[in-house]
Amino acid sequence: VELPYSQACENNKQPILERLLFHFKDVQLVFEIGTGTAQHAVHFAAALPHLIWQTADLEDNHFGINLRLEAEGTDNIRKPIRFKAGSDNWPQTGADAVFSANTAHIMQRDELKSMMHAVALHLPSGGVFCQYGPFNIDGRYTSESNQLFDYRLRSQGYGGICDIALLCEWTDATKLVLKENIAMPANNRLLVWQK
Ligand SMILES: C[S@@+](CC[C@H](N)C(=O)[O-])C[C@H]1O[C@@H](n2cnc3c(N)ncnc32)[C@H](O)[C@@H]1O
């Protein structure tokens, strides 16, 4: 059987890990939203043996995620739970951190808003949310390729690349604060939020 595969994940997993080694160093359990191919999950869990990595996605992706966990997973990864932002209640995992990569531009705006609110509400005080992907800054694309990507996403019915200011507007009334906004390879960002 062939495992689900994303070339982008292969390219970005090490640069992201280098940041998570710091931001997740005191974390016990990470809840990952939108695990996808699970390439991130197995890579990060193996390099962060002090924590538990809880995968989650829509049911459609569970079969592929389970295949990868069986093939490459370490003891500290948990099988996927169903979580669709905007539809499902926040799962009681005991997570003290959240990770999500390349989900914000896929989700509809109301789903994304719901995810931000849920993270803000359910993270414990001091808890960190690392959010990776393409984001706009002050109403501008950070590259021409992101602009083309965004047109394609929107024409296919996805929410499209979101402005960081809008995320901050949504979280303004909550205790979730954007601590770091890190430029990453391939015109992506790592947003580090803390409650
Ligand atoms: C572009 S993939 C990214 C997968 C993986 N995190 C990565 O970086 O390669 C987007 C993922 O978001 C998930 N997703 C879409 N809508 C979602 C929602 N409302 N709540 C949670 N996950 C969602 C999809 O099922 C898919 O796994």
159-168 mean pLDDT: 98
Test site for ligand 1: of 13, 31, 44, 106, most ligand atoms within 8 A of the Cβ = 106
Mean pLDDT value across the chain: 98
> What pLDDT shows up at residue 72?
98
Ligand 1 atom nearest the C-alpha of 35 is 6
Q: Ligand 1: distance of its center to the CA of 188 in Å?
A: 16
116-145 mean pLDDT: 98
Q: Ligand 1: distance of its center to the CA of 75 in Å?
A: 23
Ligand 1 atom nearest the C-alpha of 32 is 6
Give the Cα separation of 182 and 145 in Å (integer). 19
Partners of residue 192 on adjacent β-strands: 130, 180
Dihedrals phi, psi of 38, to nearest 5 degrees:
70, 10
Tell me the pLDDT band of 137, cut-offs 50, 70 and 90: very high
Single out the residue of 189, 143, 146 nearest to residue 165, CA to CA: 189
Q: Ligand 1: distance of its center to the CA of 73 in Å?
A: 19
Q: Ligand 1: distance of its center to the CA of 22 in Å?
A: 24
Give the model confidence (pLDDT) of 96-118 as tens digits: 999 999 999 999 999 999 999 99
Supply the pTM of this predicted model.
Answer: 0.98
DSSP annotation of 14: H
Task: Decide if pLDDT at 51 tops 90.
Answer: yes
Give the model confidence (pLDDT) of 55-70 as tens digits: 999 999 999 999 999 9
Tell me the pLDDT band of 177, cut-offs 50, 70 and 90: very high
Which ranges of 73-183 does DSSP label H, i.e. alpha helix? 109-122, 144-155, 164-171
Task: Decide if pLDDT at 28 tops 90.
Answer: yes
> What pLDDT shows up at residue 1?
80
